[in-house]
């Protein structure tokens, strides 16, 4: 359990660092903004042990992920790695929803949800200037 808590803090820290770039990217791509807003509303409570929001919103999160069509992605954000990250993001969002449907354990759900969040962070990191 302690390992899970440490992992949550690490993911939350990474998410906080990328918030500014996430906002600028999401402002260019409204569908990504919608996905991001719901992801934050569900991930933060899950990190505190409250899985109600993700359990109640998992299908809605799938809808938001499905709206992330590379054809609606702004041209300046398109690249093969981003296209691939969107595909993986959709797949992982569906997996989280499936785990909710099958009433998987909270630990299993959180592991999958963390992978989804990490994929989202990887997508954002494609647009962060390298230092």
Per-residue pLDDT of 115-131, as tens digits, reads: 999 999 999 888 776 65
Per-residue pLDDT of 49-78, as tens digits, reads: 999 999 999 999 999 999 998 888 888 888
**Long-range contacts of residues 121-129, Cβ cutoff 8 Å, at least 24 apart:** 121/11, 121/14, 121/15, 121/18, 122/85, 123/82, 123/85, 123/86, 123/89, 124/18, 124/21, 124/22, 124/25, 125/18, 126/79, 126/81, 126/82, 126/85, 127/21, 127/25, 127/77, 128/18, 128/21
């Amino acid at each position: 359990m302690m390992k899970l808590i440490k992992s949550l803090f690490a993911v939350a820290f990474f998410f906080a660092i990328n918030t500014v770039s996430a906002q600028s990217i999401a402002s260019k791509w409204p569908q990504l903004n919608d996905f991001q807003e719901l992801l934050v509303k569900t991930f933060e409570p899950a990190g505190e042990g409250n899985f109600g929001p993700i359990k109640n919103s998992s299908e809605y999160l799938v809808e938001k992920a499905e709206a992330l069509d590379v054809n609606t992605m702004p041209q300046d954000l398109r690249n093969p790695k981003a296209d691939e990250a969107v595909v993986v993001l959709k797949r992982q969002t569906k997996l989280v929803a499936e785990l909710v449907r099958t009433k998987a354990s909270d630990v299993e759900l959180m592991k999958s949800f963390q992978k989804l969040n990490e994929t989202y962070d990887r997508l954002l990191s494609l647009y962060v200037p390298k230092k």
